[in-house]
Amino acid sequence: MCVAIKYLDIKVTHAGRYLKIDHTTALHHRDSHDRRMRKDRRYAKLYSNLVEFVLESSKTISATEVIDLIKNSLTLQGGT
């Protein structure tokens, strides 16, 4: 979700709605991002991979398609 907010200029409420999480959960994810980047290697690696993917993919596909791919990746990884 933080990738979509930062790199695709999507509002927290829209990202949360798209990922089917409530506003409070979306805010929690956004607010805990920096801490998770420092303390959770798996999260940091997934985030870095998604950033790289978004930056490369956004050159050829729409933001909505990138978000769909992020959503699918998070589902496969077992979390949001």
Residue 58, Cβ density class (10 Å: 0-12 exposed, 13-18 middle, ≥19 buried): middle
- The letter for the amino acid at 53 is F
How far is the C-alpha of 63 from the C-alpha of 16, rounded, in Å?
A: 15
Least confident of 5-9, 31-35, 52-56: 5-9
pLDDT in tens, 40-75: 999 999 899 888 888 887 677 677 777 777 777 666
What does pTM read for this prediction? 0.65
Q: Which residue has the higher pLDDT, 33 or 55?
A: 33
